[in-house]
Structure 1
C-alpha cells in the first residue's frame, strides 16, 4: 500500500512539472529552473566572452576607431568551445522549459553567441523569430537593437531604417539604441550628428574602459572636422578615465600633437614605459613636420616609425604618398607602395587603393626609366672619346675598390664573425646563394674579372662578337658595321668596347634611340592621364613629346590628352585650336565637340538617324566619297549621338570602298577603342584581323 501511494505521489509531481503544462506550479518550476540554471550559466559565459573580446581586441589607433568595435574573425575560432557551451546552455531552456517565461531570453543569448561567431545570417533569423514570440518589452527592445546593429555592420541601411521605424512606432527605444544611432551617423560620415549623440552616450556610460574609448573617438571625430579645442577636451576626458595604458598613451599623443609640441613628444620617447609605443610617437611627429612643410624631418620620423610597428603597412602607405606627391622622388614612392601592399591586411580600407597605386607607379617607373636611359645614352654619345674612356675608368676604379673592400672583409673572419654574432643569418640565407649578399657580390666580381661587363643576351661568352652566327638580320648587321667606326684600340672584346658600341654615336643608332624615347614619352603621358588620372604628371611627358618630336605620329592624340590635362582655360584653348587646325578630320576633334555639347535632344537624335540613313543609301549606291563626306558632316553636327558608332563604322567602309587601306585600318582601330560596347565591335575586330599585316 505504501509503495502504491509513493508511486502515485511521484506521478502527480512529474505531471505537475511538465513543460507543456500551464498550471502555476509547473510554470513556477520551469521558470526557476530556466532562470537560475541554464540562463544564469549562459549569461555568465556571455559576460566572460565579452570581457575576453575587449581584452583581445587590437585597436588600430592610426585610423578612426569604429564606435561599435567589430568582432575579429579569429575570435569565434579561438573561443569555439566557450561559444558552443553558451549556445548549448541557452538551448536547454528551449528544449526542456518551453512553458517558462525565459524562452525569448534563451533565443537572445543564442543570437548573441551567433554574433560572436560572426554568423550574422543565423543571428538575424534568430532575432526576427524573437519578435514573433510576443516577448516582454525589454527583451524585444534589446533583440531589435541588436538586429539594427547587425544591419549597420553589414552596411544594409535600408533594413536598418525599417528596424528603426518599428522600434519608434512601438516605443521600444532603449538606452543602447543611441549608441547604435551614433554608429550609423559615423558610417554615413554624418559627423556633427554623430558627435552630438556620442557626447550624450559617453557621459552616461558607467564602464570606465568603454567611456575612455568613446571619448577618444570623440576626439578623433572633432579632429576630423577641424575642431581642435573640442578634440583636446575629449582626449583629456579619455586620459582622466585611466582605463588602460595603451589607450591613455594614444590620447596623450593625440593631445600633444594638436599642440604641435615636438619637445613634449620627445619627452614621451624618452620614457622607458613607452619603448613599445615609440613608433606611434614618431608617426605623430612626422605629421607635425608635414604640417610645418619640413618634408625631410617628416620622412625621417616616419622611417623610424616603421621599426617594430604592427601597422607598418599604413606607414609605408604614408611614406609612399609623401615621396610621390610632396618630395616627388618617384622610384622611392614606387618602392614604398610595394611595401605597403605586402604589409597591409586585405581587409584594410587602404588595401585596394595601395594595390592600384603600386601597379600605377611601377608602370610609371618602367616607362620613365626608358626615357632617362635614352637621354643618358644620347648625352654620353656627344662626349669625346677621351672623356668617355675617363668615365669608364673611374667607374671601374670604384668597382675595384668595392671589390677590394669585400676581399679584405673576407680575409678577416674574426671581425665578420663578430658582426654576424649580433644578427646571425638564417639557415635559408646561408644555404641559398642569392640570399647571401657576400657570396653574390663575390660571384659577380669573379665573373666581371673573367668576362668583363657583358650584356644579357645570346652567345654572351663568345670572344668574336662579330661572327656570322650573331647576325641573324640586316638591322643587326648595320649596328655591327657602325661599331667598326670605333678606333682600332677599342675594337676589342673588352667591356669598354661593348659599352662604347651601345652608345647612339651614329645616325642610325640615334634614330632608334629617339624612336624608343618618343614611344616612351607618349605611353607615359597617356598612362598618367588615363590610368593614374594625374593631370600634372601627364603634362610633363606630353609637353616633351610635342616639343622634342613636333612631327610625331602621336601628335593628334597627344594634343587631345594635353587638352584634357590642361591646368587652365587658356591652355585648353591652345591645345583645342592646335588639334582643330592640324587635324580637322581627327576623331579626337569630334570627341572634344562631344564633350562640349553634351547629350543631344530627342529631335537632334532623330535628325542624326535620318542623316545616317541618307548616308547609308549613298554608300549602297557606291557613292563612297559623298557618303564619307556626309559621315564627317554628321559627326560635326551631331557629336555624341546614339548613332555615332554606326557613323564611324560607315566611314571606315567608305574608306575601304575608296581603296584607302591605311585610313580604313586606322578608323577601324579608333572604332574599337572608342566604342567598346557597340554591337559592331566584333565585326570591326574581324575586319582588322582580316587585313594583311603588310597593310
Structure 2
C-alpha cells in the first residue's frame, strides 16, 4: 500500500511540474530550476566573458576612443567554446521551462552571447523577440537599449531612431540609454551634445574601470573642441579612479601635454615603467614645441618617437591627425596620412580609415592647391610688366645659382667609394616592394608599358611638357643652346614670354581663371561636407565661394550644403531663409522641407494624390501654366509624398507645353537624379536624349 501511494505521489508531482502547466506548484518548480540552475550558470559565464573582453581589449589611445568599445572578431573565435556554453545554458530554459518567469532573461543572455560573436543579425532578431514576451520592465529596458546600441554600432541610425522613440515613449530610459545617446552623438560628430550627455552620466557608472575610461573620452572630446580647462579636469578625474596603469598613464600624458609641461614629460621618460610609452611621450613633447613655434625641437622629438616606436605607421597616423585636427596644416596632414597608409599593416584597426583619410586629404590638398594657384596668378596679374620681368629674372638667377652649387659639389673628387651589397631578403621582408625582386621587375614593366621610357625629372608624366613653363630647367636650356647654337638669352626670353602668357592679364584670361577658382571652391566645399564630413572646412570654403562669387552658378547647392553643415542654431535658419528667398522653386528648398516635415501621414498621402489628379486634369486641358503652379504648390504642401516623382515629371511636361526648353531639360535631369528607382526614369532619360543639342 505504501509503495502504491509513493508511486501515485511521484506521478502527481511529475504531472504537476509539466512545463506547460500554469498551476502554482508547476510554475514555482520551473522558476526555481530556471533561475538557480541554467540562468545562474549562464549569467556567471557572461560576467566571465565580459571581464575577459576588458582584459584582452587593446585600446588605441592615440585616437579618440569610442564610448562603446568594439568587440574584436578574434574574441568570438578564441572564446567560441565559452560563448557556445553560454548560449546552450540559456537555451535550456527555453527548452525545459516554458512556463517560468525567466524566459525573457534567457533570450537576453542568448542575444548578449551573439553580440560577443558579432552575429548582429541574429542578436537583433532575438532582442526584438524579447519585446513580444511581455517581459518585466528591467529586462525589457536592457533588451531595447541593447537593440538601440547595436543599431548604432552598425551605423544604422534610422533603425536606432525607431528603437529610441519606443524607449522614450514607454519611459524605459536609464544609464545605459544615456551612454548610448552619447555614443550616437559621437558617431555623428556632434561633439558638444556628446560631451553634455557624458558629463551627466560619467560619475554614475558603477564600474571603476569603465568610469575612468568615460572620463578619459570626455577629456579627448573636450580637447577636440579646444576646451582645455574642461579636458584637464576630465583627465584628472580619469587618473583619480586608478583603474589600470596604462589608462592612468595616458591620462597623465594628456594632462601634462595640455599644461605644456615639458620638464614633467621628460621626467616621465626617465621612469623605467614608461619604457613602452616613450614614443607617445615624445609625440606630446613634439606637439608642445610645435605650438611654441619651435619646429626644430618638434622634429627632434618626433624623430626620437620614431626610433622608440616599433610601429612607425601608428606614429605617422597620430601625427597626421595632429596636423589635420589641431595644427590645421593640411598639406603636412596629407603627407603623413600617405605614410601611415603605406606603413600600417592591413590588420591594424586604423588601416581602412587611414586609406580613406589618405584619399580624402590628397583630394583636399589637390583642390586647395588649384585655388591657391589661381590666387597667385591673379596677384601677379596686378603687377606692372616691368616688375614681372624683374621677378622672373631674379627667380631664374636663384635657380642657376643653386644649379651651379650642385654641379660644383658633384664635380669634387670622391675620396672613397662605398659599395653596398644587398643582402638576400628574408621571408618576412618579401612583402616590402623593393626587397621583392619579382614585384619590382613587374612594376618596372608595367610603368614602361603605360608611360614609356622616362627620364627622372620634374613633370615626367606630362604629355606635352612645353606647357609647363613655370618649371623651365636651366640645365635643359644649356643643353639646347649647345645642340642648336641658339643664344641662351633668346631661350630665356622665350620661356619668359610663355610664363607671362600664363598670367591672366586680359579680361578673357581673368574670366577663365575665376571660373576655375569658382569651380574648385565649390568642389572643395562639397567634398568636405559629403565625403570627409568636415563641417567646419565645408562652411569655410562655401562661405568664401558665396562672398567672392555672389552670383555663382553653384549658389543654390552651396546654400543647401551650408544649411546641412551649419552647427550654429542661428546660422541654419538664416541660410534656409536666404535659399528660400533666392531660389523659391529650387529642388534644394523642397529637399529641406522634406527633411523638416518627415514622413507624411496616410491622410496627407491621400490628399496629395487627389491634388495631383487635379493638376493632371489641368495639364490634359492644355492649361500648362495653371498645372505647373499646382505642381509647385503640391511639392511645398506635401514634401516627400509617394506621388512626388509623378509631380516632378508632370512639372517637366508642363514646361515642355510652355515651350520652356531650358527649364524642361533642367527639371528632367533633376528628376533622374532624385528618383533613380522611379518607373518613369526611362521615359525621362529618353526625353532628355531627344532634346536637340545646341
C-alpha change, 1:56 and 1:313, in structure 2 (3 Å) is farther
TM-superposed deviation, 1:222? 3.2
Structure 2 CA distance for aligned equivalents of residues 497 and 248 of structure 1: 65
What's the counterpart of residue 204 of structure 1? 204
Structure 2 CA distance for aligned equivalents of residues 303 and 8 of structure 1: 86
CA RMSD of superposed structures (Å): 5.7
| Unaligned segments of structure 1, at least 5 residues | 369-374, 411-415, 441-454, 459-485, 487-495, 519-543, 577-587, 604-608, 611-638, 647-676, 689-695
* Secondary structure of 1:286 counterpart: helix
1:401 to 414, 426, 437: 414
What's the counterpart of residue 136 of structure 2? 136
Structure 2 CA distance for aligned equivalents of residues 317 and 381 of structure 1: 33
Does 1:355 find its partner at 2:372?
no
TM-score, normalised relative to structure 1: 0.59
Q: Does structure 2 conserve the Cα–Cα contact (< 8 Å) formed by 1:183 and 1:194? A: yes
What's the counterpart of residue 163 of structure 1? 163
* Secondary structure of 2:98 counterpart: coil
Q: Does structure 1 conserve the Cα–Cα contact (< 8 Å) formed by 2:481 and 2:487? A: no
What's the counterpart of residue 315 of structure 1? 318
TM-superposed deviation, 1:241? 1.6
1:329-368 to 2 correspondence within 5 Å? 335-342=335-342, 343=344, 345=349, 351-358=355-362
TM-superposed deviation, 1:290? 2.7
Structure 1 CA distance for aligned equivalents of residues 290 and 399 of structure 2: 42
* Secondary structure of 1:406 counterpart: coil
1:546-599 deviation digits (Å, cap 9, x = unpaired) = 43x85799665224335678999xx999x99xxxxxxxxxxx999999999996
Does 1:99 find its partner at 2:103?
no
TM-superposed deviation, 1:257? 1.3
Does 1:51 find its partner at 2:51?
yes
1:659-686 deviation digits (Å, cap 9, x = unpaired) = xxxxxxxxxxxxxxxxxx99898789x9
C-alpha change, 1:38 and 1:334, in structure 2 (3 Å) is closer
Structure with bigger gyration radius: 1
Structure 1 CA distance for aligned equivalents of residues 15 and 49 of structure 2: 38
| Number of equivalent positions | 515
1:189-588 to 2 correspondence within 5 Å? 189-306=189-306, 307-309=309-311, 311-318=314-321, 326=329, 335-342=335-342, 343=344, 345=349, 351-358=355-362, 379=396, 394=408, 396-397=410-411, 401=414, 404-407=416-419, 426=426, 435=435, 457=453, 501=483, 546-547=502-503, 556-562=511-517
TM-superposed deviation, 1:255? 1.1
TM-superposed deviation, 1:90? 0.9
1:341-372 deviation digits (Å, cap 9, x = unpaired) = 23275676564232233466689999x9xxxx
Does 1:642 find its partner at 2:663?
yes
TM-superposed deviation, 1:296? 3.1
Q: Does structure 1 conserve the Cα–Cα contact (< 8 Å) formed by 2:341 and 2:354? A: no
Q: Does structure 1 conserve the Cα–Cα contact (< 8 Å) formed by 2:480 and 2:486? A: no
* Secondary structure of 2:95 counterpart: helix
Structure 2 CA distance for aligned equivalents of residues 428 and 323 of structure 1: 37
Between 1:46-55 and 1:590-599, the stretch displaced more is 590-599
* Secondary structure of 1:32 counterpart: helix
What's the counterpart of residue 28 of structure 1? 28
1:14-64 deviation digits (Å, cap 9, x = unpaired) = 323321122233223222222222111211111111111111222222233
* Secondary structure of 1:135 counterpart: coil
Structure 2 CA distance for aligned equivalents of residues 345 and 40 of structure 1: 35
Q: Does structure 2 conserve the Cα–Cα contact (< 8 Å) formed by 1:279 and 1:304? A: yes
Structure 2 CA distance for aligned equivalents of residues 38 and 594 of structure 1: 60
C-alpha change, 1:361 and 1:119, in structure 2 (3 Å) is same
Structure 1 CA distance for aligned equivalents of residues 144 and 584 of structure 2: 50
Structure 2 CA distance for aligned equivalents of residues 333 and 205 of structure 1: 37
C-alpha change, 1:555 and 1:53, in structure 2 (3 Å) is same
* Secondary structure of 1:65 counterpart: coil
TM-score, normalised relative to structure 2: 0.59
C-alpha change, 1:558 and 1:394, in structure 2 (3 Å) is same
Q: Does structure 1 conserve the Cα–Cα contact (< 8 Å) formed by 2:71 and 2:118? A: yes
C-alpha change, 1:216 and 1:98, in structure 2 (3 Å) is same
